Structure 1
Amino acid sequence: MSNYPLLFEPITINKMQMSNRIVMPAMHLNYTPDGAVSDQLVAFYRERAEGGAGLCIVGGCVINDRSGGPFMVNILKDDDIPGLTRLAKAIQDGGARAGVQLYMAGAYAHSFAIGQQSISSSPHFSKFTKQDAREMSLEEIAQVQDDFVQAALRAQKAGMDMVEILASAGYLICQFLSPTINKRTDEYGGSLENRMRFGLEVVRKTRAAVGPDFCVGVRVAGNDFVPGNHTNEEAALFAKACQDAGADMINVTGGWHETKVPQLTHELPAAGFAYLARGVKRAVSVPVASSNRIHGPGLAEEILARGDADLICMGRPLIADPELPNKAKAGRVDLIKRCVACNQGCFDAIMTLGPIGCMVNPRASHEALGKPGPAAAAKKVVVVGGGAAGAQAAITAAERGHKVTLFEAADTLGGQIAWYWRSTEKPDFAAIPAWQGAYLKELGVDVRLGQRAEADSIAALGPDHVVLASGARPVMPPIPGLSGPGVVHAWDVLKGKAPVIGREVVVIGGGAVGLETAINVAKRGALTPEQAYYLTLFRGESPEAIDRLLTTGSHNVTVLEMLPKIGKGVGRSTAWIVYLLIKRFGIKPITGVKVLSVEPGKVTFDSSDGQIAIKADTVIVAAGAAPVNDLLEPLRAKGLDVSVIGDAGGGLTVLDAIAQGYKLAAEL
Structure 2
Amino acid sequence: MATYPNLLKPLDLGFTTLKNRVLMGSMHTGLEETGDWNRVAEFYAERARGDVALMVTGGIGPNLEGSVLPGAAMMVSEQDIENHRVVTDRVHEAGGKIAMQILHAGRYSYGPKCVAPSPVKSPISPFPPNELDEDGIEKQIADIVEAARKAKLAGYDGVEIMGSEGYFLNQFLVTHTNKRTDRWGGSYENRMRLPLEVVRRTREATGTDFIIIYRLSMIDLVPDGSTFDEVVQLAQEIEKAGATIINTGIGWHEARIPTIATSVPRAAFAWVTKKLMGKVGIPVITSNRINTPEVAEEVLSTGCADMVSLARPMLADAYFVAKAARGETSHIAPCIACNQACLDHTFGGKLTSCLVNPRACHETELPIEPATDIKTLAVVGSGPAGLSTAITAAERGHKVTLFDQSDEIGGQLNMAKQIPGKEEFWGLVDWYRAMVTDLGIEVKLNTTATPDMLAGFDEVVIATGVLPRDPEIPGQDGPNVVNYIDVLRGKAKVGHKVAVIGAGGIGFDVSEFLAHEGTSPTVDLPLWMKEWGVTDPAEHRSGLAPEGPQPEEPAREITLLQRKKTKHGKGLGKTTGWIHRAALKMKDVNFVGGVNYEKIDASGLHVSFGEARENPTVIEADTIVLCAGQVSERSLAEALESQGTKVHVIGGADVAAELDAKRAINQGTRLAAAL
**Cα distance, 1:534 vs. partner?**
13
> Secondary structure at the residue paired with 2:219?
coil
| d(CA) in 1 for partners of 2:344, 2:622 | 37
User: Which moves more between the two structures, 185-194 or 279-288?
Assistant: 279-288
Cα 1:266–1:382, aligned 2, differ >3 Å: closer, same or farther? same
CA–CA distance in structure 1, aligned partners of residues 358 and 425 of structure 2: 16
Query: Is the aligned partner of 1:45 residue 2:37?
Result: no
Give, in whole Å, the separation in 2 of the partners of 1:149 and 1:545.
39
1: CA distance, partners of 2:607 / 2:15:
70
Aligned residue for 2:607, secondary structure, equals: strand
For residue 600 of structure 2, what is the aligned residue in structure 1?
598
Rounded Cα–Cα distance in structure 2 between residues aligned with 1:547 and 1:152? 41
Q: Could you say if the C-alpha distance between residues 239 and 530 of structure 1 is closer, same or farther in structure 2, counting changes exceeding 3 Å? A: closer
Match of residue 377, structure 1, among 366, 373, 376: 373
| Corresponding residue of 1:555 | 556
8 Å CA contact 1:527, 1:550 repeated in 2:
no
Contact 1:57/1:98 (CA < 8 Å) preserved in 2? yes
**Per-residue deviation at 1:547?**
7.2
Q: Are residues 1:498 and 2:497 paired?
A: no
- Check if 1:366 corresponds to 2:362: yes
- Map residues 392-541 of structure 1 onto 2, 5 A cutoff: 392-459=388-455, 462-502=456-496, 504-524=497-517
Q: How does 1:563-582 map to 2 (within 5 A)?
A: 563-565=564-566, 566-582=568-584
CA distance 1:81–1:184, change in 2 (3 Å): same
Quick one: distance in 2 between partners of 1:465 and 1:334?
29
Shift of 1:433: 2.1
Return the offset for 1:623.
0.3
Deviation at 1:501?
0.9
Task: After TM superposition, list the pairs within 5 Å mapping 1:180-329 onto structure 2.
Answer: 180-329=176-325
Deviations 1:280-311 (Å, cap 9, x if unpaired)?
Answer: 22321100111111101111111111111111
Taking structure 1 as reference, are residues 406 and 488 closer, same or farther at Cα in structure 2, changes over 3 Å only? same
Deviation at 1:376, TM superposition (A): 3.4
User: In structure 1, how many angstroms separate the alpha carbons of the residues matched to 2:207 and 2:446?
Assistant: 65
Question: 1 CA distance for matches of 2:664 and 2:520?
Answer: 36
- What is the Cα deviation at residue 258 of structure 1? 0.3
- In structure 2, C-alpha distance between the alignment counterparts of 1:485 and 1:451, rounded to whole Å: 30
Q: Structure 1 pair 326/222, CA: closer, same or farther in 2 (3 Å)?
A: same
Specify the SS of the correspondent of 1:27.
Answer: coil
- Whole-angstrom CA distance in 2 between matches of 1:32 and 1:535: 36
* Distance in structure 1 (CA, Å) of the matches to 2:368 and 2:502: 41
Distance 1:22 1:134, change over 3 A: same
Q: Which residue of 2 aligns with 1:148?
A: 144
User: Is 1:67–2:63 an aligned residue pair?
Assistant: no
Contact 1:233/1:279, CA 8 A, preserved across alignment? no
Is 2:108 aligned against 1:108?
yes
Q: Is the 8 A contact 1:14 1:248 kept in 2?
A: no
Find the aligned partners of 1:228 and 1:545 in 2 and give their Cα distance: 12
Change (3 A) 1:149 1:425: closer
Residue 619 of structure 2 is aligned to residue 614 of structure 1: yes
Following superposition, the deviation at residue 633 of structure 1 comes to 2.7
Indicate which of 642, 646, 652 corresponds to 1:641.
646
**Is 1:463–1:640's contact at 8 Å kept on the other side of the alignment?**
no
Report if the CA contact (8 A) 1:15-1:213 is conserved. yes
CA distance in structure 1 between the partners assigned to 2:516 and 2:437 by the alignment: 38
- Structure 1 residue 525, shift from structure 2 partner: 7.4
List per-residue Cα deviations over 1:162-216 (Å, max 9, x = no partner). Answer: 1111100000001100111111111111111111001111011111111222221
Q: Once the 2 structures are TM-superposed, how far is the Cα of residue 513 of structure 1 from its aligned partner?
A: 0.7
Q: Could you tell me which amino acid in structure 1 is paired with residue 56 of structure 2? A: I
TM-score, length basis structure 1 = 0.94
**Identical-pair percentage:** 36
1:76-111 per-position Cα deviation (integer Å, ceiling 9, x unaligned): 223211111111111111111111011101100011
Aligned CA distance change for structure 1 residues 39 and 337 (closer, same or farther; 3 Å): same
Separation in structure 2 between the aligned mates of residue 204 and residue 535 of structure 1, nearest angstrom: 36
Of structures 1 and 2, the one scoring higher in RCO (CA 8 A, sep 6+) is: 2
Change (3 A) 1:455 1:71: farther
Alpha-carbon distance between aligned partners in 2 of 1:556 and 1:88, rounded to the nearest angstrom = 56
* Gap regions ≥5 residues in structure 1: 537-542
Mapped partners of 1:149, 1:570: distance in 2: 40
Unaligned runs of 5+ in 2: 531-543
| Matched positions, count | 654
Q: Helix, strand or coil for the counterpart of 1:367?
A: coil
- What does residue 12 of structure 2 align with? 12
Following superposition, the deviation at residue 526 of structure 1 comes to: 9.6
On the 8 A contact 1:122/1:135 being kept in 2, the answer is yes
Say if 2:265 and 2:524, in contact at 8 Å, map to a contact too. Answer: no
Residues 378-434 of structure 1, C-alpha deviation per residue, up to 9 Å, x if partnerless? 111101111111011011111222111111222211001112212343111122222
Gap change, CA 1:90 and 1:142, over 3 Å in 2: same
**Structure 1 residue 119: deviation in Å?**
0.8
Are the aligned partners of 1:37 and 1:73 in contact in 2 as well (CA < 8 Å)?
no
**What is the CA distance between 1:37 and its match in structure 2?**
6.1
2:575 aligned partner, one-letter code: S
RMSD: 2.2
| TM-fit CA distance, 1:637 | 4.0
Q: How far off is 1:234 after superposition?
A: 2.4
* Cα displacement (A) at 1:338: 0.5
What is the CA distance between 1:524 and its match in structure 2?
3.6
Quickly say closer, same or farther: Cα 1:505–1:32, change in 2 above 3 A: same
Confirm or deny: 8 A CA contact 1:18 1:55 kept in the other structure.
yes
Distance 1:301 1:501 in 2: 43
Residue number in structure 1 paired with 2:92: 92
Provide the residue aligned with 2:537 in structure 1. Answer: none
Once superposed, which parts of structure 1, at least 4 consecutive aligned residues long, lie more than 4 Å away? 525-536, 543-549
